[in-house]
Structure 1
Amino acid sequence: MEVTELLKDYENGKRDFVGAELSGANLSGAILDGINLSRANLAGANLSRAHLTKAALNGANLCRANLSFAKMGQARLADAELTKANLSGAFLVKAKLPRAKLTGAQLIGSNLRNAILWNANLCTADLQFVNLRGANLTGANLNWAHCPEVKLSGAKLFGAQLTGIYLRKAYMNGIDLSRIDLNGVNLSEAKLNGVNLEGSNLLAANLSGAQLRGVQLKGADLTRANLVGVSLVQANLDWARLCYADLSEADLSGATFLGANFEGTLLAGSTMGASVSLDVCLTATSCVAA
């Protein structure tokens, strides 16, 4: 289908272009709000700065398409193919992307607040500076995604895959990460105040300099975790495993440690109270208290 034909038909009131063949088309800046391009082939198309508010793109092929700075609020992209697409700076507030394939996609600085991304594949995607506040990422694949300074407060991540995800300086206050696998994940300098990490796997995770005030870490595995300089004020570490973790310079004021395992834990320079440090060291094989 020719671009000029599509734009003319749209101007004349037509909205249904299901299955249209538009691979490589140049639709940069086009006004296409409310259009139905479900199952259309838009592979490699240029849709930068296009207006696609409330557009239907369910099952569309947008592989390697340029959607940078596109206006796609409330757009429907269920099962869409967006592998290696460029969505940097795109406005996708309340967009629906269940099961969308976003492997290797560029989403730097995009706004996905309250978007639906359950079971979406974001493996190796670049989500730096992305706003995902309130987004539903249930069951999403975020393995090896690059997410520094991503905003995830209020997001749902139940059952999400997070192997190798990079979350340095991420904003994740108040979210539920209970019983999730964060083995080796980089959360250095992240804001995790009030987060529920009960029973989670944080084996060898990097949490250095992170803010974890009031966090729930009951029964979590923090074996060999890097917790240097972390703030765990009033955190619940009951029954947590902190074997050979490094808590040097950590602020543990008001934290609880009932049944916690501190075998080999480093506590040099931490701000634990003297009585708490003594109790911990009595049950640890090797411990350097504050």
Structure 2
Amino acid sequence: MEFESLSNEDDKIRISFKLKSANVPFTIYDAKWVNCDSTFVPTDPFSLIAKTNEVSGKNTEWHISLDFPFSDTFEDGDVLILNTDKGIVRCPTSMTGKLREDMDLLRTEYENKLDRSITSSRKAWIFFYITLASAIVIGSTILIIVKRRLTRKRKEIEELSMLISERADRNLELEAQVNTLYSSRLDTLNMLCNEYFEKSESEKVKLSLYNEVEKHILALRDTKSINELEGIVNKYMDNILVKVREQLPELNRKDLTFLTYLYAGFSPRAVCIFTNIKIKNFYNRRSRLKERILET
């Protein structure tokens, strides 16, 4: 709606205005004019119905004039009010009032846009802070988890290093104890073997030396030596032979003796000499015992 003119003639006030409709039907139920502190209704009842067939598919324009009771006092706030099916429509009846209302509309629109912008900006900042806080929390959590894992891994490495060091020390002690147990006998065997080859011209001497070598080898196989060796192995290898006996009570004495020499660190050929088996049988027996131990 657009105000056109206001005239004071024939003891009445005539207000002219223009209505435009773009393909939208509407109904005006009544009209009133607010002048200063008074409210006037048209001298002739007014209503308007814009039917669908009248406005459908076209832009329609109405020029309307309404007569109100006479008034000789006017203010910038005077306004023509139409009560329609779309709601209340206001139209200032002075140029100053129209400008003021346009400015109010512009200010309201600006304030609404500003409020929307502030709200949007606030939401964006809130989203940013939430995202930043989430990233910090997630990053801190990951950092703590990684730090704990690294600390745990470092402790595991330190413990493993200590175990390796302890195992190396135990192996050295085991080797020293085995050497102490067998060194004198092995030295004697070495001496007899040297004499055997040095005195190869006498069959009688060679036979005597061979018997001495065999005697010393048998001495290395005796129960006392094996028990002493087993005690040394258990001492420096965390009672490993005791555990084997508990897990595999069906093992015979030969297998236990074989394992004793293995854990003591003797070479395959030495184990074959002490247990009186062939080298081929050594590898077969070792594989068989290894599988049985792993199964338990």
Greater CA radius of gyration, 1 or 2? 2
Please state which structure has a larger fraction of its residues in helix. Answer: 2
| Fold match (TM-score > 0.5) | no
Q: TM-score of the superposition, structure 1-length normalised? A: 0.16
Q: Which has the higher contact order (CA 8 A, sep 6+)?
A: 2
